[in-house]
Amino acid sequence: MQLEGKIALVTGAGKGIGRAIAIGMAEQGADVAILSRTRQDLEDVAKEIINLGRKAYIVTADVSKVSDIEEAVRDVQSQTNRIDILVNNAGMNIRTPAIDVTEEDWNKIMDTNLKSAFFLSREVARIMKEQNTGRIINISSVAGCVAIRTGVVYGAAKAGMIHMTKILAMEFAKYGINVNGIGPWYFKTPLTEKVLSNKEYLDEVISRTPMGRVGELKELVGPAVFLASDSSSYITGQTL
Residue 154 annotated to the active site: yes
Burial of 7 (0-12, 13-18, 19+ CB in 10 A): buried
Q: Which of 154, 186, 201, 234 is catalytic?
A: 154
The residues, any chain, with a CB within 8 Å of residue 193's CB and separated by 6 or more, are: none
**DSSP conformation letters of 94-145:** ----GGG--HHHHHHHHIIIIIHHHHHHHHHHHHHHHHT-EEEEEE--GGGT
In whole angstroms, give the CA distance from residue 141 to residue 159: 8
CA within 13 Å, CB half, 136 = 35
How distant, in Å, are the alpha carbons of 53, 61, 227 from that of 72? 24, 7, 23
Contact at 8 Å (CB) between 42 and 214? no
| Residues annotated as part of the active site | 154
